[in-house]
A and B are shown apart, each in its own frame.
Chain A
Amino acid sequence: MNPNSAPNPAMGHNNVPKMTARDVNVFYGQKQAIRNVSIDVTSDNVTAFIGPSGCGKSTFLRCLNRMNDTVDGARVEGRIELDAQDIYAPAMDVVQLRARVGMVFQKPNPFPKSIYENVAYGPRIHGLAQAKADMDNIVESALRRAGLWEEVKDRLGESGTAMSGGQQQRLCIARAIAVDPEVILMDEPCSALDPIATARIEELIDELRGRYAIVIVTHNMQQAARVSQKTAFFHLGTLVEYDDTSAIFTNPRETRTKDYITGRYG
């Protein structure tokens, strides 16, 4: 498909797109990092962004919850919508946007607080729990959904930074889902983890599919093939191809996609 035209309605299946981007350009100072990217993200799928280092996939991901706002000199053009609301419109409050579009980072970044406080952080700042019992419930269900409850239920008071890397990353996922977001953005969530911890996170992503729209950036193509239903291939700041994951990996339309997937570059 041509990324500059409106996406093929057939690609949304029977889903209304959760997030849509049209003609998005991102600049860091004078340098253009993203050129005319248009894409739809649907709720019931895991969408993977793949591409070689520096192709702009993480930059684009960070536009979806306006994390690029925190980077000095970053400028975003074009239109990005969440449930048909323009997220860059003045009416959109970035605090509420980020509560609806959560994020998990490349390196596990638990706060230097207890496990409990890490998970309770979001619900607290958004005022989601009135009583201690409510908060306990939120923390427990977030940890259960992140597959961490059985491992940590007896040591919720211990520091979140004292756990293994894989546990820390699942804690960060629990922290993100504790505010019950609609979309979860994952920026290479397994790149700092060993293979066993990676497999555990991939299982978790599969379990979370359907409940949240998930967008995952990865430079591990096997991972994209394993966890995602849709795959977008980025190269040099442009979206080269976006299709069902099975189609991208078995029958790519673009030569650049094929070359990347077969390991010619990247």
Chain B
Amino acid sequence: MRLLIAFAMVLALAGLAYLAGRGRANRLVLAGGNRIGAVHSRPVYHGAYMAVLALAPALLLLAGWAIVGENVIEGQVVATMPAASQPAPGNDRVALMNEVRGLVTGDLPQAFNPLAPVLAPRYAAIKNNLDLLAGALAVALLCLGGLWGYSRIRPDFRARNRVEAQVRVLLLVASVVAIITTFGIVLSLIFESIRFFRMVSPVEFLTGLAWSPQTALRADQVGSTGAFGAVPLFWGTIFIGAIIAMAVAIPLGLMSAIYLTQYAQPSLRKWMKPVLELLAGVPTVVYGFFAALTVAPLVRQLAVMLGMVDASADSALAAGLVMGVMIIPFVSSMADDALTAVPRAMRDGSLAMGATMSETVKKVMVPAALPGIIGGVLLAVSRAIGETMIVVMAAGLAANLTANPFASVTTVTTQIVALLTGDQEFDSAKTLSAFALGLVLFMMTLVLNIYALAVVKRYREAYE
């Protein structure tokens, strides 16, 4: 709360700095006869430069205090106690300080630790003092920065160039955040996976044919030694996402793109294309309902009619069909772009030879757009194998290694969900295997994406 007020104050002061800087520069402009070039930068840049000089150090200080402040305060509080009664660093100290904070804020009516009520007033006082100190330091830094900036405002001072450089840094930081986050995700996957691979060998994980992640909770339990052969999971993922779903999505998506780009009246295309793209916005959990409640029973009936009396309600086919429908907009929109990018001269050239529209599409348009279409398909595959909700709801949990589309199979994402829902112990191979699965899945989609982008890029170069 205090920190918030401090932030608001700092921002308000920076606003004042901006006004002051702009005002001074304005006076310089008037003094220079209002000619272009009399003052190098427009007054707004002088104001902005001064505001940045005032704001940046103060904000950095406050942000730093927000991160390390609590630790410093705790250290101070603990230091007031006699050395003998100080809690050991770690869980004891954390528990004690949580109680102290609870008492100070009033969230906790009564503490368990008898030390807490003693420490609470000390904590409040120390926190008060240190927060005030930090706030005062921030304001002082702000004033110093502002004054320095104010003193630098001269007609020939290149404030615009400085401000633009600062904006560039800001944009750089913004774009780096996403990249750093990605690296963080990869690193956390890798560290947890390493822990898993200390318990289960990577060779077993990548080549084993049996998946049964139950491990014994107690040494005397039987039958739960755990098997971590992930091949059935990867097979299930590829079977559903890359085979069944693509068998649906590639023909339908490609044909709809051909119809929309080559045959449809502009008036029809105008509303059909957005409707098709709307499909991409349907939450996958809704597709999941559809797969589990509508498609899966139909598929089961079909299987029973075909003579499989004990057909499972969860089937690879049901999940794959619905996932294929979900993927159609990806394929059709990429194919649409690729076909539209083929120069009209190609199409005219073929038509002028007396080729029919379908000959033109088959022999000229699709071959010319093929790299773009393949890129779209690869992106769609990587999307499909990472898809979770549909397979969780419709594909089942049994890790079967089968090519029978009516059988229940399971996928990497389904297993990760199953492994990580509920209470988990984070030192068992069962839980940690989820991270190894995630890592391999991430690698697969990464390679697919890199390859797809390379293919798409190559085709972009072809027509420039």
User: Among the listed stretches B59-67, B317-325, B354-362, which one makes contact with chain A, having 4 or more residues with CB under 8 Å of it?
Assistant: B354-362
| Inter-chain contact B346/A111, CB cutoff 8 Å | yes
Query: Taking the complex as formed, is A98 at the interface, i.e. its CB lies under 8 A from any CB of chain B?
Result: yes
Chain B min CB distance to A159 (Å):
10
| Inter-chain contact A67/B352, CB cutoff 8 Å | yes
From the candidates B343, B352, B367, name the one contacting A113 in the complex (CB within 8 A): B367
Query: Taking the complex as formed, is A125 at the interface, i.e. its CB lies under 8 A from any CB of chain B?
Result: yes
From the candidates B343, B353, B368, name the one contacting A121 in the complex (CB within 8 A): B353
Q: When chains A and B are docked, how far (Å) is the Cα of A72 from the Cα of B264? A: 11
Chain A min CB distance to B345 (Å):
4
Q: Given contacts A109-B343, A109-B345, A112-B367, is CB(A98)–CB(B353) below 8 Å?
A: yes
Query: Taking the complex as formed, is B351 at the interface, i.e. its CB lies under 8 A from any CB of chain A?
Result: yes
From the candidates B347, B354, B367, B462, name the one contacting A125 in the complex (CB within 8 A): B354
From the candidates A94, A96, A99, A111, name the one contacting B350 in the complex (CB within 8 A): A111
| Inter-chain contact B353/A105, CB cutoff 8 Å | no
Query: Taking the complex as formed, is B348 at the interface, i.e. its CB lies under 8 A from any CB of chain A?
Result: yes
From the candidates A70, A94, A97, A121, name the one contacting B363 in the complex (CB within 8 A): A121
Instruction: List the A side residues contacting B462 at CB < 8 Å.
Output: 112
Query: Taking the complex as formed, is B349 at the interface, i.e. its CB lies under 8 A from any CB of chain A?
Result: yes
Query: Taking the complex as formed, is B364 at the interface, i.e. its CB lies under 8 A from any CB of chain A?
Result: yes
Instruction: List the B side residues contacting A102 at CB < 8 Å.
Output: 352-353
Closest residue on chain B to residue A104 by CB atoms: B352
| Inter-chain contact A99/B345, CB cutoff 8 Å | no
Query: Taking the complex as formed, is B226 at the interface, i.e. its CB lies under 8 A from any CB of chain A?
Result: no
User: Among the listed stretches A77-85, A171-179, A244-252, which one makes contact with chain B, having 4 or more residues with CB under 8 Å of it?
Assistant: A171-179
Q: Given contacts A109-B343, A112-B367, A113-B367, is CB(A125)–CB(B353) below 8 Å?
A: yes
Chain A min CB distance to B327 (Å):
28
From the candidates B345, B353, B355, B363, name the one contacting A107 in the complex (CB within 8 A): B345
Closest residue on chain A to residue B265 by CB atoms: A72
Query: Taking the complex as formed, is A33 at the interface, i.e. its CB lies under 8 A from any CB of chain B?
Result: no
Chain B min CB distance to A28 (Å):
14
Q: When chains A and B are docked, how far (Å) is the Cα of A121 from the Cα of B354? A: 10
| Inter-chain contact B352/A98, CB cutoff 8 Å | yes
| Inter-chain contact B346/A109, CB cutoff 8 Å | yes
| Inter-chain contact A122/B353, CB cutoff 8 Å | yes
Chain B min CB distance to A110 (Å):
8
| Inter-chain contact A111/B352, CB cutoff 8 Å | no
Instruction: List the B side residues contacting A103 at CB < 8 Å.
Output: 352
Q: Given contacts A107-B345, A111-B346, is CB(A67)–CB(B367) below 8 Å?
A: no
Q: When chains A and B are docked, how far (Å) is the Cα of A72 from the Cα of B265? A: 8
From the candidates B349, B354, B368, name the one contacting A99 in the complex (CB within 8 A): B354
Could you tell me which residues of chain B, from 213 to 236, have a CB within 8 Å of some CB in chain A?
none
| Inter-chain contact B348/A105, CB cutoff 8 Å | yes
Closest residue on chain B to residue A122 by CB atoms: B353
- Among A72, A111, A175, the one with the most B-chain Cβ atoms within 10 Å of its Cβ is A111
| Inter-chain contact B354/A96, CB cutoff 8 Å | yes
Query: Taking the complex as formed, is A126 at the interface, i.e. its CB lies under 8 A from any CB of chain B?
Result: yes
Q: Given contacts A72-B266, A99-B354, A111-B364, is CB(A125)–CB(B359) below 8 Å?
A: yes
Closest residue on chain B to residue A99 by CB atoms: B354
| Inter-chain contact B354/A70, CB cutoff 8 Å | no
Query: Taking the complex as formed, is A38 at the interface, i.e. its CB lies under 8 A from any CB of chain B?
Result: no
B contact patch SS: helix
| Inter-chain contact A67/B364, CB cutoff 8 Å | no
Q: Given contacts A109-B343, A112-B462, is CB(A70)–CB(B349) below 8 Å?
A: no
Q: When chains A and B are docked, how far (Å) is the Cα of A96 from the Cα of B353? A: 9
Chain B min CB distance to A17 (Å):
22
Interface bits A84-120 vs B (CB < 8 Å: 1, else 0): 0000000000111111001101010111110000000
Q: When chains A and B are docked, how far (Å) is the Cα of A126 from the Cα of B359? A: 11
Chain B min CB distance to A195 (Å):
23
Q: When chains A and B are docked, how far (Å) is the Cα of A111 from the Cα of B346? A: 6
Instruction: List the B side residues contacting A122 at CB < 8 Å.
Output: 353-355
From the candidates A94, A97, A105, A179, name the one contacting B345 in the complex (CB within 8 A): A105
Instruction: List the A side residues contacting B355 at CB < 8 Å.
Output: 95, 121-122, 125
Closest residue on chain B to residue A95 by CB atoms: B354
Chain B min CB distance to A234 (Å):
21
Q: When chains A and B are docked, how far (Å) is the Cα of A50 from the Cα of B170? A: 58
| Inter-chain contact B353/A179, CB cutoff 8 Å | yes
Instruction: List the A side residues contacting B356 at CB < 8 Å.
Output: 95, 125
Chain A min CB distance to B206 (Å):
41
Instruction: List the A side residues contacting B353 at CB < 8 Å.
Output: 98-99, 102, 121-122, 125, 175-176, 179
Interface bits A120-145 vs B (CB < 8 Å: 1, else 0): 01100110000000000000000000
Chain B min CB distance to A135 (Å):
15
From the candidates A65, A107, A110, A112, name the one contacting B352 in the complex (CB within 8 A): A65
Instruction: List the B side residues contacting A176 at CB < 8 Å.
Output: 352-353
Instruction: List the A side residues contacting B363 at CB < 8 Å.
Output: 121, 125
| Inter-chain contact A111/B354, CB cutoff 8 Å | no
From the candidates A105, A126, A172, name the one contacting B354 in the complex (CB within 8 A): A126
Closest residue on chain A to residue B364 by CB atoms: A111
Instruction: List the A side residues contacting B349 at CB < 8 Å.
Output: 105, 109-111, 172, 175
Instruction: List the B side residues contacting A105 at CB < 8 Å.
Output: 345, 348-349, 352
| Inter-chain contact B351/A109, CB cutoff 8 Å | no
Interface bits A174-207 vs B (CB < 8 Å: 1, else 0): 0110010000000000000000000000000000
| Inter-chain contact A67/B354, CB cutoff 8 Å | no
| Inter-chain contact B348/A109, CB cutoff 8 Å | yes
| Inter-chain contact B346/A179, CB cutoff 8 Å | no
Q: When chains A and B are docked, how far (Å) is the Cα of A70 from the Cα of B367? A: 21
Q: When chains A and B are docked, how far (Å) is the Cα of A145 from the Cα of B354? A: 20
Q: When chains A and B are docked, how far (Å) is the Cα of A121 from the Cα of B345? A: 15
Chain A min CB distance to B373 (Å):
14
Q: When chains A and B are docked, how far (Å) is the Cα of A94 from the Cα of B352? A: 10
Q: When chains A and B are docked, how far (Å) is the Cα of A176 from the Cα of B266? A: 30
Q: When chains A and B are docked, how far (Å) is the Cα of A48 from the Cα of B353? A: 22
- Among A95, A107, A110, the one with the most B-chain Cβ atoms within 10 Å of its Cβ is A95
Question: Which B positions have Cβ atoms within 8 angstroms of A?
Answer: 265-266, 343, 345-356, 359, 363-364, 367-368, 462
For the complex of A and B, list the 5 residue pairs with the smallest distance between their C-beta atoms, beginning with the closest: A109-B345, A98-B354, A99-B354, A103-B352, A109-B349
Beyond the given A111-B350, A111-B368, A122-B354, could you list 6 further A-B residue pairs with CB under 8 A, ordered by the A residue number?
Answer: A70-B348, A109-B346, A109-B349, A112-B346, A112-B367, A125-B363
19 A-B Cβ contacts within 8 A? A65-B352, A67-B348, A67-B352, A70-B348, A72-B265, A94-B354, A95-B355, A95-B356, A97-B354, A98-B352, A102-B352, A102-B353, A105-B348, A105-B352, A111-B368, A112-B346, A112-B367, A125-B353, A175-B353
